[in-house]
């Protein structure tokens, strides 16, 4: 039996029927020496800003940080592809001794002259925080010379968690917001925050709002353009998905421009409908918006209903484990799985806070295991204990699920089909079905034993 | 639209675009996974460890475990001793590996953490249980590349573990056991090297050995420490071997030299056994140092490779190739391309080391004296050269696919990382069989493009 690290016992709990909601320890640094699935500040900043397609992204540090984040996010752009190149100062020993400011400045001037980007983001890595490069000063100088915004992102890896990286990214973005001309923005305008256009999801969502009669000023940051971000303060409402990453910016915009924000999710029929209605109700001056929203939801739901019923018949009673970055996504996933007749047996996140975990307990069924900042051994143990049929996670979890003979759905950067919106609900059901019902699992040892399939193997 | 590259080449001094390398620690982590029951430990902030694990997982499609010292701001000011102590305590208490292989990061290097002192302290405090081992390698990310990190960790294995028990030459000869240091190759390649050596009846210790660690069958279990990997005992015993075959100047030579210096085991330095010539050299070395004969079956494998080379030689003649990747891989492949009568026109690595250029020039001296050969460069530069003088085929890791797409040039995936195809996980590139596979892939890539694009009248049934 696999034990839990003593330090971690408080980060795991089991939902009990009729028991009061218990506190889970979270929001703490991972114990040194644990096989954590978590990343760093830089990672947080990089994933948030990466999709800004017409900006230059330069990683100031040794080569690794740039290499590992080169075109891995799956955020699509409808135009510029500049963001998909990997630019780095590739700091060497001499730079560490004498400082990397000159190199950074030269690199930026070269790149901006060549690519003429609309803005540049400069990511500080661990080492920059230690050798004391004044990145802000370099940014200021380069900005003056080139006439474009050059924004330092304070993303030194060790200065906190991924969440602090989100915050640093939001701070960089907030310097752009408010610098554009908003005169031609109409009265029914919104921003979409925390939507990264993985597999083209932002395009789907933007289209819904357009059909409702709303203008989307900026999407942050999926398929984003600098000019749009600069005008984002012209919107009347911010709709924030992936709350962990973008609530900071929403709060800053509320403070500075009086723009209220609402937390939404576009995953699953219930959540995406709620998101659209939330936006519609915000503009009661034009009742047409609400009417169009009702029509849209009705049409879309009717269109996908037969397919969903088809998948539900196949999936009813199957069990799932969820391990995701932000816990807000987990709420949506639990609801979607329930809609498909599936149970969530294990649920966890890398960065959930106390509120998130309280809410999770409220919506989970009794017996569900809830876990913060988990590791492969724990996840494998819980999956086997609960005998799950599906694992929903990211790149590091996929091979673990497969080794155990469990179906998998990537709900992270590597998704290939859009999972957001109504159409995304069908894609999700299809993807889950394709994996859970794959004939491959009948050959997997634990299923083969149950199905009495004889395998030509030596005795274990 | 992916084409951000211009044909006009301007000198770049301060900038790396589309790197053909990554940083030291990931190489050290991969090497450490080739030790049996080993937990690689990253002494730095959490992101490094997460990135390396994700990146390795994308290449191997296998779970990759490693721990981190989870540096915070405090640790970066006061040093990482407390983090290391807590980490070692947690690792041994809960995961209970045989070995912990610590590598550093840019962060812990710059603050000057003294890892041997930390290990010593942990030993004195009884944190490292009896019979368990902690080794370390310094792997600053701002020096060298992932290749350097790999070499440093393999060298650390020798430094910490290998021992000479003072056997006489006669005793060593009676044992007839060789060390094989395989370099930064895939588990499938290590498996193939072992198959060849076993087939020849040579006694050997191969380390590191990631077969059985990162190429596991699906058996319904998840194991943090799978059955494979070179054991501490084996690496200890490597000090008593008759000789070491070090495959690859960059990845294996430093460990072989350390073994020679520390335990007096002489080393034969070979290129990676990729392609006909280099596999021949490897097998010669096994035969000569191991005092065995080459079995008929291996001779037949070679014969089949040679037969295929004969069948296809007209297709390969004079084809211009752009090769990029890790220096040991590129050196060995360039030799094979020359054997196939191809023209490696651009040969680059993102890593540093003059040996790369010297050795490639040596290989290309007669056939392609005007080849562009460059170390410490990147895929942006390679793309620019290709724009100026196109090639017939590109061979490199997954990142070359952008160039291939933009320029419509056939592309053969080869080396680390391969993030988008599955073959490398199962089919070796080393040995005669590996050469056959590489040749098939190159030929297929060339013919597929030809047949997709040629005019109807030139579209032929038979090739």
CB atoms within 10 A of CB B340: 22
Instruction: With a cut of 60, say whether residue A107 has pLDDT above it.
Output: yes
Instruction: State whether A323 and A290 are in the same domain.
Output: no
ω into B417 cis (within 30 of 0):
yes
Domain assignment present for residue A447? The answer is no
Cα separation, B313 vs A159, in Å, equals 58
pLDDT at residue A456, as a whole number:
73
Instruction: With a cut of 60, say whether residue A435 has pLDDT above it.
Output: yes
pLDDT per position as a tens digit, A206-219? 999 999 999 999 99
Task: With 0.90 as the threshold, say if the pTM is over it.
Answer: yes
Put simply, whether A95 touches B (Cβ < 8 Å) is yes
Element (H, E) at A189: strand A189-195
Instruction: State whether A163 and A219 are in the same domain.
Output: no
Domain at B170-293, CATH class? alpha beta
Task: Name the percent of chain B lying above pLDDT 70.
Answer: 100
Q: What is the CATH number of domain B24-161?
A: 3.40.50.1980
Count A/B contacts: CB-CB distance under 8 Å: 244
Domain assignment present for residue A425? The answer is no
ipTM: 0.94
Domain assignment present for residue A23? The answer is no
Q: Which residues pair with B347 in a beta bridge?
A: B323, B373
Cα separation, A55 vs A80, in Å, equals 9
The interface residues of chain B toward chain A in range 85-114, judged by CB-CB distance below 8 A, are: 86-91, 93-95, 105-107, 110-111
Cα separation, B399 vs A69, in Å, equals 12
Overall number of domains in chain A = 3
Instruction: State whether A168 and A236 are in the same domain.
Output: no
Domain assignment present for residue A325? The answer is yes
Q: Which of A176, A206, A240 is the last residue of a domain?
A: A176
pLDDT per position as a tens digit, B281-330? 999 999 999 999 999 999 999 999 999 999 999 999 999 999 999 999 99
Q: B56-81 burial by CB neighbour count: b if 16+ within 10 A, else e?
A: bbbbbbbbbbbbbbbbbeebbeebbb
Q: Which residues of A touch B26 (CB under 8 A)?
A: 64
pLDDT at residue A1, as a whole number:
41
Q: Contact B119/B89 with Cβ under 8 angstroms? A: no
Between B110 and B77, the more confident residue is: B110
Encoded tokens for A97: 């001794």
Q: In what order do the strands lie in the sheet with B133-137?
A: B67-68, B38-43, B99-104, B133-137
Between A271 and B76, the more confident residue is: A271
Cα separation, B180 vs B195, in Å, equals 13
Domain assignment present for residue A22? The answer is no
Put simply, whether A45 touches B (Cβ < 8 Å) is no
Domain assignment present for residue A48? The answer is yes
The interface residues of chain B toward chain A in range 187-246, judged by CB-CB distance below 8 A, are: 216, 218-222, 224
Instruction: State whether A74 and A137 are in the same domain.
Output: yes
Q: Which residue among A81, A89, A130 places its CB closest to the CB of B111?
A: A130
Domain assignment present for residue A357? The answer is yes
Q: B409-428 burial by CB neighbour count: b if 16+ within 10 A, else e?
A: bbbbbbbbbbbeeeebbebb
Task: Determine whether domain B297-457 maps to CATH 1.10.287.610.
Answer: no
| Lowest-pLDDT range of B69-83, B356-370, B434-448 | B69-83
pLDDT per position as a tens digit, B134-181? 999 999 999 999 999 999 999 999 999 999 999 999 999 888 999 999
Which residues constitute the domain of residue A355?
316-415
Between A379 and A217, the more confident residue is: A217
Q: Which residue among A32, A35, A41 places its CB closest to the CB of B65?
A: A35
- From the number of C-beta atoms within 10 Å of its C-beta (0-12, 13-18, 19+), residue A208 rates as buried
**How much is the average pLDDT of B210-229?**
94
Q: In degrees to the nearest 10, what's the CA dihedral of B412, B414, B417, B421?
A: 50
CATH of the domain at A349: 3.40.50.1980
Instruction: State whether A57 and A152 are in the same domain.
Output: yes
Instruction: State whether A167 and A46 are in the same domain.
Output: yes
State in Å, rounded, how far the first CA of chain A is from the last one.
Answer: 18
pLDDT at residue A460, as a whole number:
56
Cα separation, B220 vs A421, in Å, equals 35
**How much is the average pLDDT of B17-41?**
97
**How much is the average pLDDT of B53-57?**
95
Strands, E, within A291-423: which ranges? 319-324, 343-349, 369-372, 390-393, 407-410
Q: Contact B262/B158 with Cβ under 8 angstroms? A: yes
Domain with CATH 3.40.50.1980 in chain B: 24-161, 170-293, 297-457
| DSSP structural state of residue A196 | -
pLDDT at residue B1, as a whole number:
47
Q: Contact A60/A42 with Cβ under 8 angstroms? A: no
Instruction: State whether A247 and A225 are in the same domain.
Output: yes
The answer for residues whose C-beta is within 8 angstroms of residue A420's C-beta and 6 or more apart is A195, A201, A204, A205, A266, A267, A272
Encoded tokens for B272: 């990676």
Strands, E, within A94-184: which ranges? 119-124, 150-153
Catalytic residue among B48, B99, B106, B347: B106
Cα separation, B9 vs A450, in Å, equals 64
**How much is the average pLDDT of B255-277?**
98
pLDDT at residue B73, as a whole number:
86
Half-sphere exposure of B307 (CA within 13 A, CB side): 7
**How much is the average pLDDT of A125-148?**
95
**Angle of helix B276-290 relative to helix B431-453, nearest 10 degrees?**
180
Encoded tokens for B419: 């993030």
């Amino acid at each position: 039996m696999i034990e839990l690290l003593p330090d971690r016992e408080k980060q795991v709990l089991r939902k009990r029927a009729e028991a009061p909601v218990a506190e889970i320890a979270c929001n703490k640094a991972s114990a040194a020496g644990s096989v954590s699935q978590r990343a760093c500040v830089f990672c947080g900043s990089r994933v948030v800003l990466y999709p800004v397609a017409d900006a230059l992204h330069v990683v100031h540090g040794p080569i690794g940080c740039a290499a590992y984040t080169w075109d891995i996010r799956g955020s699509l752009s409808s135009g510029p592809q500049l963001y998909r190149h990997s630019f780095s100062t590739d700091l060497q020993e001499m730079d560490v001794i004498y400082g990397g400011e000159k190199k950074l400045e030269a690199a930026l001037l070269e790149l901006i002259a060549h690519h003429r980007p609309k803005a540049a983001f400069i990511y500080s890595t661990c080492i920059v925080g230690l050798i004391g490069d004044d990145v802000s000063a370099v940014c200021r100088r380069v900005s003056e010379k080139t006439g474009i915004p050059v924004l330092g992102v304070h993303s030194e890896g060790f200065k906190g968690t991924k969440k602090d990286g989100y915050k640093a990214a939001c701070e960089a973005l907030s310097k752009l917001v408010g610098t554009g001309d908003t005169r031609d923005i109409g009265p029914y305008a919104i921003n979409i925050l925390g939507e990264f256009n993985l597999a083209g999801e932002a395009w789907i969502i933007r289209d819904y709002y357009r059909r409702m009669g709303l203008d989307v000023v900026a999407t942050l940051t999926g398929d984003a353009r600098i000019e749009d971000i600069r005008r984002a303060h012209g919107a009347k409402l911010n709709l924030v998905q992936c709350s962990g990453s973008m609530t900071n910016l929403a709060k800053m915009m509320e403070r500075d421009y009086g723009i209220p924000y609402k937390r939404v999710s576009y995953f699953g029929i219930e959540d995406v409908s709620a998101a659209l209605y939330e936006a519609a109700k915000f503009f009661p001056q034009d009742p047409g918006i609400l009417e169009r929203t009702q029509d849209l939801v009705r049409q879309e739901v009717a269109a996908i209903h037969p397919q969903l019923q088809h998948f539900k018949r196949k999936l009813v009673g199957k069990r799932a484990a969820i391990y995701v970055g932000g816990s807000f996504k987990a709420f949506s996933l639990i609801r979607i799985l329930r809609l498909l007749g599936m149970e969530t047996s294990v649920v966890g996140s890398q960065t959930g806070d106390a509120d998130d975990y309280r809410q999770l307990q409220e919506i989970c069924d009794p017996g569900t295991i809830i876990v913060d900042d988990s590791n492969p051994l724990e996840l494998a143990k819980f999956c086997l204990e609960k005998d799950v049929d599906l694992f929903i996670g990211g790149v590091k979890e996929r091979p673990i699920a497969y080794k155990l003979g469990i179906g998998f759905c990537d709900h992270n950067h590597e998704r290939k089909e859009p999972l957001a919106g109504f159409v995304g609900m069908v894609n999700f059901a299809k993807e889950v079905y394709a994996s859970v019902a794959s004939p491959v699992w009948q050959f997997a040892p634990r299923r083969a034993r149950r199905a009495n399939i004889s395998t030509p193997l030596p005795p274990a | 639209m992916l084409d951000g590259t211009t044909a006009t080449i301007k000198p770049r001094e301060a900038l790396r675009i589309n790197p053909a390398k990554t940083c030291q620690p990931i190489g050290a982590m991969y090497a450490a996974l080739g030790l049996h029951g080993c937990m690689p430990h990253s002494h730095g902030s959490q992101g490094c460890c997460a990135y390396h694990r994700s990146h390795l997982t994308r290449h191997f499609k296998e779970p990759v475990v490693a721990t981190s010292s989870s540096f915070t701001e405090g640790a970066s000011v006061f040093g990482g001793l407390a983090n290391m102590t807590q980490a070692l305590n947690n690792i041994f208490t809960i995961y209970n590996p045989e070995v912990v292989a610590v590598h550093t990061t840019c962060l812990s290097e710059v603050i000057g953490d003294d890892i041997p002192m930390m290990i010593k302290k942990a030993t004195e405090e009884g944190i490292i249980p009896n019979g368990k081992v902690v080794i370390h390698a310094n792997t600053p990310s701002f020096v060298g590349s992932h290749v350097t990190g790999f070499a440093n960790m393999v060298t650390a294995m020798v430094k910490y573990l290998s021992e000479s028990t003072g056997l006489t030459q006669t005793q060593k000869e009676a044992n007839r056991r060789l060390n094989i240091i395989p370099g930064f190759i895939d588990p499938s390649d290590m498996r193939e090297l072992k198959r060849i050596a076993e087939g020849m009846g040579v006694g050997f210790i191969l380390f590191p050995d990631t077969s059985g660690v990162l190429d596991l069958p699906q058996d319904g279990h998840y194991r943090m420490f799978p059955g494979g990997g070179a054991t501490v005992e084996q690496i200890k015993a490597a000090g008593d071997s008759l000789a070491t075959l070090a495959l690859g100047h960059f990845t294996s030579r430093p460990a072989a030299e350390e073994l020679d210096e520390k335990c007096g085991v002489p080393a034969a330095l070979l290129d990676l056994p990729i392609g006909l010539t280099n596999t021949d050299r490897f097998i010669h070395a096994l035969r000569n140092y191991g005092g065995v004969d080459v079995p008929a079956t291996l001779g037949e494998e070679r014969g089949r490779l040679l037969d295929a080379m004969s069948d296809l030689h007209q297709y390969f003649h004079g084809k211009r190739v752009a090769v990029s990747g890790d220096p040991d891989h590129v050196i060995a492949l360039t030799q094979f391309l020359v054997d196939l009568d191809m023209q490696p026109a651009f040969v680059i690595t993102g890593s540093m080391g003059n040996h790369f250029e010297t050795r490639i020039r040596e290989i290309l001296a007669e056939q392609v004296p005007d080849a562009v050969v460059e170390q410490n460069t990147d895929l942006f530069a390679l793309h620019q050269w290709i724009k100026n003088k196109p090639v017939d085929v590109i061979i490199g890791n997954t990142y070359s696919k952008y160039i291939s797409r933009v320029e419509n040039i056939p592309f053969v995936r080869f080396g680390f990382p391969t993030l988008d195809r599955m073959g490398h996980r199962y089919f070796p590139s080393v040995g005669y069989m590996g050469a056959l596979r590489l040749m098939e892939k190159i030929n297929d890539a060339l013919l597929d493009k030809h047949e997709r694009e040629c005019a109807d009248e030139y579209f032929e049934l038979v090739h």
